[in-house]
């Protein structure tokens, strides 16, 4: 995946997290913080996905809604 596409996906996830009704404020804050670190450090998306799934199983639904599942 190109760096541009990678960042685009992360921005979409970040916006979806912020507007989520399924996550509480603590989960939102922790998730956005991790996503911003990934954007800054340009880490692999698969590892971020695993970390976000540890915060909430809701991320499996979110990734599917955003078309980011395999």
pLDDT band per the 50, 70, 90 thresholds, residue 40 = confident
The model's pTM? 0.65
Domain extent listing, the chain: 3-65
* pLDDT tens digits along 41-57: 766 666 778 888 999 99
Q: Give the single-character DSSP code of 67.
A: T
pLDDT above 90 (res 19): yes
CA angle 17, 36, 14 (to 5 degrees): 20
Q: Write out the DSSP string of 18-60.
A: HH-SSS-HHHHHHHHHHHHHHHHHT--HHHHHHHHHHH-THHH
Instruction: Give percent of the chain with pLDDT exceeding 90.
Output: 41
Instruction: State the Rg of the chain over Cα.
Output: 11
């Amino acid at each position: 995946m190109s760096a541009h596409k990678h960042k685009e996906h992360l921005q979409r996830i970040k916006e979806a997290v912020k507007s989520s009704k399924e996550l509480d404020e603590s989960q939102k804050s922790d998730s956005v913080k991790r996503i911003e670190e990934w954007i800054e450090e340009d880490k692999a998306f698969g590892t971020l996905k695993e970390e976000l799934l540890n915060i909430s199983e809701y991320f499996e639904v979110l990734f599917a809604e955003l078309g980011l599942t395999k």
